Structures are given as structure tokens and as C-alpha cells.
A = this chain, B = another copy of it.
Amino acid sequence: MLQAVLAASARARAAPATLRLLSTAAPAAAAAAASNNNKNGTAIVLMNMGGPATLDEVEPFLGRLFGDPDIIPIPFQSKLGPWIAKNRTPKIKNQYAQIGGGSPIRMWTEKQGQMLERLLDETSPETAPHKSFVAFRYAAPLTDEAVRAVQDAGFTRAVAFTQYPQYSCSTTGSSLNELHRQLRVHDKDGTIQWSVIDRWPTHPKLVDAFLDRIQTALQQYPENERDSVVIVFSAHSLPMTVIERGDPYVHEVAATVQAVMDKLGHTHPYRLAWQSKVGPRAWMGPQTADVLEALGKKGHKNVLLVPIAFTSDHIETLFELDIEYGTEAREKWGLTGLKRAESLNDSPIFIEAMADVVKAHLARNVAASPLLQLQCPMCTKESCRDAKVYFTAYNATLQAKAKEPASTL
């Protein structure tokens, strides 16, 4: 067995260039866990950005956000980050106050997790029991808390499951980098075998879940106006510098949109727009607010906004789309028939999608997709490279295992 693991490590070094060039040693987790060991069940760690649950949590939340070079690279980050966070706190606090005093994302994620556990226990009894954990990047429960909870519950098999369907280095990448850092502190011996679901932009049931929300929203228009509805998909934008480095997020969001419209049968005209740009740098466009204003100017009345990269409600849907853009669109831009498709939240179809993604991932018995191995072509970050190696090295172990004589399996 050990020979197979060593041979696999050798093969890993010989094969993809991303791995070959590394100075980092093969991760302990991959070497220690040489089988898809989930006889004790499976921990499902739901990774997301998170949000402040109360107004008091706004400043620490912003502090972590502006302290993370994976999402907001700024010079003198350790000094400037807290300063920007402190400065922005009153404005952002006010926004959270307007949506009920905090972000509902923890509530939604925990609910999704519980629904997911139940469904997986039914549909994938061979990997049961399943228990969900929440690992937020900038709010409680943070990644270290999640890792310790997985350990305390005695799991030796865990799936890091991104709740961003489309991969960006700024989102899923940042979460994986943080998970990697925390595992090097809290699980030095690699007692937990990790695998990663890094993206699922066009999973058929995810597409169905979006479709269901869109169809429900379209039904709310009077029948004689329904055909005139323009669908505007909206996703969080990204600085062009990140896209220029080879970040695949924009492409994957576009793929989700196309898959949804293909399934809807292209009954309505649509555009994909990008929201939440901050600062003076160039970001991906067109911006959602500009698109809404321009459609109003062209005489459209009925626009259906569809958040396509956030799966649960948080400030970007409840404040930015509904209040900030929504008010202007209805009152100034003439979009009297502006509506927003409900976020996926606890949509049963969405929970089925989540369960299907996890079940298929566990059945494939791989550490991660080949795509996770490939660092963005123009990226030079060591943290990013090392996390990718850590989470994909187990693939080589599995390949070796598959090639062993059956008797040793």
C-alpha cells in the first residue's frame, strides 16, 4: 500500500507541470488517507463568503474582507485594510439596518445544510451519515471553527463544497486557501481526508432551480404584459485585472445564464449584467444599474432581475438589487414593472441539486476536478498554488490505487 502511495506521489511529480514545479511537500492528508474512508460518515463543509448576523458584526466582517488579498488586494493591506473597514462601517451598517439588521446568509446556509443532510442520507446511504458544517470566509462560523467542529464530531472524511456555483479565485479560491491554512494548523497529521467540489455552474438541477424561480416570477406579470418582460441576470462583478489573470468566473456565470435560457426555451430577451463594482478601477461590465437605467430610457417597463451567482439572499440581493437599484428603477427610470426572482434559498429543487452534486462527487471518488489543478495562467500567488496542490494531490493516490492488483485493494 505504502509503495503505491509513494509511486503515486512520484507520478504526481512527473505529470502535470503545476505539480511538478512545486517545492511544497506532498500534503499529509493525501499521504495519510489512502482510501475513500468514509466508514464514519461524511462531513459536508459549505463554504461561502458569509455576512454579519448583527450590526455589531459589520466592522469585524469588513475587517476580514479588506484584510484578504485574495478578494481585495490593496497595498499595505494589514494597515490600510482595517482603516478602510472602519471607514466604510457606518454606511454598510445602515444598509444592513435596512434589510432587517443583519445578513440572513447563515440562517439560509444552515437550513440548506440540514435539508441536504436528510436528502443525502436517503439517496447515498453508503456515505451516510452526512453532517453539514458552515465555513464562512468573513463571518462566523469561520473556517477554523468549521475544521475543529468536523474534528470534534469524529469525521475522517470531509467534502469542501463551495456554495459559489461559479469559480473565482476571489471567492472559492479564497475559501480554499483559508481552509488549507487552517488545516496546516489544526490537522497537521492529516487525519481528515478532504475532497473538493470547486464549481457546478451548469448542473442540470441548479439550472432547474433558477428556472423555477424565473417561471414563478414571470407568472406575477399580467398575462398581456408577460411577453414584454426583459430578463436581466445579475452577478457580482470582478476587477478586469483578475479576469486578465485568467480567472474563469465571468465565463462560468455566462454559462449558467445560457443553460437557464436554453432550458427556458429563449421565450424572452435577456442580458447578463454585473453589479457591486467598487473603486475607480475597471471592472467587468455592463453594470446592472446602468443596464436598468438604459432599458428604462428605451421605453421598457417590465424587467425581471435574476441573481445568478448568489444562491442565498444577502446584502447584494436584499439591499443592492431590491432597495438601491429597485427604488431608482421604479421611481426614476420608468421600470414600473421591475421584479426580482426569489433567491434559491430553501428551494427544494436547489437542495436536490446540492445533494446530486455531492452524491456524484462522492461516487467519483476523486479529490477534485482536473480544472482545480490549473492555476490561473498569469497568477503568481504561492498560497493559491499550494492550496491547489494540497487539494488535488490525492487524485494521484487514487490513480495509483486503481492500478494496484485487485487483491491489495
> How far in angstroms is the closest Cβ of chain B from A234?
13
Which residues in window 231-254 of A have CB below 8 A to B? 240, 243-246, 248, 250-252, 254
Q: A286 in the interface, Cβ–Cβ < 8 Å?
A: yes
Counted per complex, copies of this chain come to 2
Query: Beta-carbon contacts of A255-278 to B below 8 Å, as 1s and 0s?
Result: 101110010001111111100000
Which of A11-19, A62-70, A122-130, A342-350 sits within the interface?
A11-19
Residue of B nearest to A375 (CB): B298
What 0/1 pattern do residues 284 to 302 of A give for CB contact below 8 A with B?
0110001100110011110
Alpha-carbon distance between A377 and B286 when the two chains are bound, in angstroms: 9
* A246: contacting residue among B246, B248, B291, B371, CB under 8 A: B291
For this complex, into which size category does the number of interface residues on chain A fall?
35 or more
- Asked if A39 is at the interface of the complex by the 8 Å CB criterion, the answer is no
Q: How far is the CA of A263 from the CA of B136 in the complex (A)?
A: 32
Asked if B377 and A244 sit within 8 Å, CB to CB, the answer is no
Asked if B21 and A286 sit within 8 Å, CB to CB, the answer is no
A97 in the interface (beta carbon within 8 A): no
Within 8 Å by CB of A285, from B244, B285, B375, lies: B244
Q: Closest CB of chain B to A285's CB: distance in Å? A: 4
- Chain B neighbourhood of A267, CB < 8 A: 370
CB distance from A172 to the nearest CB of B (A): 15
Task: From known contacts A202-B262, A370-B268, infer whether A246 and B286 are also in contact, taking CB-CB under 8 Å.
Answer: yes
B17–A370 contact, CB under 8 A?
no
A378 to B290, CA, bound (A): 8
- How far, in Å, is A195 (CB) from chain B's closest CB? 15
Residues on B with C-beta less than 8 A from A21 are 298-299
Whole-angstrom distance from the CB of A96 to the nearest CB of chain B?
30
Assess whether A189 is interfacial by the CB under 8 Å rule.
Answer: no
Chain B nearest CB from A33 CB (Å) reads 22
Question: Who on chain B is nearest to A266 by CB?
Answer: B369
| Assembled-state Cα–Cα distance A298/B298 (Å) | 48
Check: A98 CB closer than 8 A to any chain B CB: no
Q: Which of A354-372 contact B (CB under 8 A)?
A: 369-371
Q: How far is the CA of A268 from the CA of B300 in the complex (A)?
A: 44
Closest residue to A20 on the B side, CB-wise?
B299
Q: What distance in Å separates the Cβ of A256 from its nearest Cβ neighbour in chain B?
A: 8
CB-based contact A266/B370 at 8 Å:
yes
Q: Are the CB atoms of A255 and B246 closer together than 8 Å?
A: no
Residue on B with the closest CB to A252?
B258
- Please name the 9 residue pairs, one residue from A and one from B, whose CB atoms are nearest each other, closest first: A255-B258, A17-B299, A269-B374, A251-B254, A294-B377, A254-B254, A17-B300, A244-B285, A291-B377
Q: A243-B286, A255-B255 are in contact. List 11 more A-B contacts (CB 8 A).
A: A16-B228, A17-B300, A227-B370, A240-B282, A251-B257, A251-B272, A255-B258, A255-B259, A269-B371, A290-B378, A295-B377
